[in-house]
Amino acid sequence: MAAADIARQVGEDCRTVPLAGHVGFDSLPDQLVNKSVSQGFCFNILCVGETGLGKSTLMDTLFNTKFEGEPTTHTQPGVQLRSSTYDLQESNVGLKLTIVSTVGFGDQINKEDSYKPIVEFIDAQFEAYLQEELKIRRVLHSYHDSRIHACLYFIAPTGHSLKSLDLVTMKKLDSKVNIIPIIAKSDAISKSELAKFKIKITSELVSNGVQIYQFPTDDESVAEINGTMNAHLPFAVVGSTEEVKIGNKMMRARQYPWGTVQVENEAHCDFVKLREMLIRINMEDLREQTHARHYELYRRCKLEEMGFKDTDPDSKPFSLQETYEAKRNEFLGELQKKEEEMRQMFVQRVKEKEAELKEAEKELHEKFDRLKKLHQEEKKKLEDKKKCLDEEMNAFKQRKAAAELLQSQGSQAGGSQTLKRDKEKKNWQRSGFDAYWPADRGKYRVTM
Ligand code: GTP
Ligand code: MG
């Protein structure tokens, strides 16, 4: 029998029976409270707003303490998120509070991607929780849940309308986090302007389809106050770390030459409304909404992306095992396909390379043949030349031999010729023509 059928049958068979005496399970709510108190609570706030809008001051004012944190400059190249966790204790209740604040938001010339680091941060916290949930040995009770429970969106007190950066960012965040918009430094705007500004912001949020967090009205005990407070959104707040003596009480306030703004005075600003709604009345609802709405949406999209479904195409329940196996088979099929593709590609590449090598080899052979032919021709030419030179040399030798022969014959005849010349010389000397006889005359010999 299917689990659903069994459950239906159990439900149908369920009867109400009276108890004869006190059993004790009426202490279950107390048990739950005690367990929760001993475990402690965690709450994570994200403050999104331009640099210097009073984010840190408001956190200090809300929790009545001084958290660490240096002011940032307006020269950040991009938006970053700075996260700090603190352990707080009030009566016997422990709270692990994480404050995440944007750094450099609204300081860049191009603000197109300013929302991205914020979205990525929120998703990263959901992903970490999902990974913990999917572990075989999960320890969710001691896991430090870093999912953002409330996003305080700080709006500059311009008195005009929302900046496009604010609208785009809130639109990108509204399906991921509980957005509570607040008008920061509201002491910088007059009462009548503030009322108009609130109306303008609300209408802009509605016309742009931005879903802000609505305080729940389904619980009777808080329905009325939450309903009233929903109409006051966005809260106009003032923060201060300065304490001023008013009457005989020390109060957080901001002092100006013309007067004092009391943070906790509801006639001066909505700080008390924000604290009531955020901490004293709806903290648990914010935690629950984060888990049941925003995380659930993230988880669903992520699991669907991974191939998990609740029902198969025939509307039958899909088992985890079947889904896993189907996904595994799909993955193996894809892997095989990829492997085959890679093999084909490899074979193709080898073929191409082989053809390239063959072509190169052919070219090399042709080049070799050409060179060989050239070499042979050159060799033949040289041999012909050598032959010619040999013939010339032989002819020369023959001529030389003949010349030597003639010379030797000539030298014998040369002796009588010299004598004849000496005689002529003497005759010339006598006749005074010696000066005309050349100095190197001795070397003139008749050789033939
Ligand atoms: P970064 O962290 O540097 O982005 O600034 P921040 O948003 O944390 O602002 P921070 O709290 O450091 O305040 C910046 C300045 O604004 C300080 O001088 C505060 O005293 C002043 N400030 C804070 N809250 C208010 C407020 O409600 N009204 C007015 N007028 N000034 C405020
Ligand atoms: Mg700060």
178 CB within 6 A, ligand 1? no
Q: What is the mean pLDDT of residues 276-300?
A: 94
80-90 vs 259-262, strand pairing mode: unpaired
Closest residue to atom 16 of ligand 1, CA basis:
54
Residue 256's DSSP bridge partners are 259
CA distance linking residue 152 with residue 270, whole number of Å: 14
What is the predicted pLDDT for the residue at 12? 67
CA distance linking residue 237 with residue 186, whole number of Å: 6
Ligand 1 centroid from CA 58, angstroms: 8
What is the predicted pLDDT for the residue at 448? 42
Q: List Cβ<8 Å contacts ≥24 apart for 92-95.
A: 92/37, 93/37, 93/40, 93/41, 94/40, 94/41, 95/40, 95/41, 95/42, 95/43
More confident residue, 130 or 443: 130
More confident residue, 314 or 168: 168
Q: Quickly state the pLDDT bin for 248 (edges 50, 70, 90).
A: confident
pTM for the model: 0.72
Closest residue to atom 24 of ligand 1, CA basis:
54
For 177-200, give the DSSP string.
Answer: S-EEEEETTGGGS-HHHHHHHHHH
105-119, 132-146, 261-275, 319-333: which range is least confident on average?
A: 319-333
Please identify, by atom number, the ligand 1 atom nearest to the C-alpha of residue 73: 3
**Percent of residues, the chain, with pLDDT higher than 90:** 56
156 CB within 6 A, ligand 1? no
Residue 223 has pLDDT above 50, yes or no: yes
Ligand 1 centroid from CA 54, angstroms: 3
239 CB within 6 A, ligand 1? yes
What is the predicted pLDDT for the residue at 414? 63
Ligand 2 centroid from CA 70, angstroms: 6
Please identify, by atom number, the ligand 1 atom nearest to the C-alpha of residue 69: 2
Residue 429 has pLDDT above 80, yes or no: no
Ligand 2 centroid from CA 72, angstroms: 7
Residue 445 has pLDDT above 60, yes or no: no
Length in residues, the chain: 448
Please identify, by atom number, the ligand 1 atom nearest to the C-alpha of residue 240: 24
Nearest bound ligand to CA 50?
1
Closest residue to atom 5 of ligand 1, CA basis:
52
52 CB within 6 A, ligand 1? yes
268 CB within 6 A, ligand 1? no
Nearest bound ligand to CA 53?
1
More confident residue, 68 or 407: 407
pLDDT digits (tens, 9 = 90+) for 125-174: 999 999 998 888 888 888 889 999 999 999 999 988 899 999 999 999 99
70-79, 88-97, 269-278, 379-388: which range is least confident on average?
A: 70-79
54 CB within 6 A, ligand 1? yes
What is the predicted pLDDT for the residue at 222? 86
Q: Quickly state the pLDDT bin for 42 (edges 50, 70, 90).
A: very high
414 CB within 6 A, ligand 1? no
What is the predicted pLDDT for the residue at 442? 52
For 113-149, give the DSSP string.
Answer: TTTHHHHHHHHHHHHHHHHHHHSSS--TTTS------
Closest residue to atom 21 of ligand 1, CA basis:
54
Nearest by Cα to 448 from 418, 401, 403, 416:
403
CA distance linking residue 1 with residue 21, whole number of Å: 37
Q: What is the mean pLDDT of residues 15-28?
A: 90
pLDDT digits (tens, 9 = 90+) for 341-377: 999 999 999 999 999 999 999 999 999 999 999 999 9
Please identify, by atom number, the ligand 1 atom nearest to the C-alpha of residue 57: 11
Closest residue to atom 23 of ligand 1, CA basis:
54
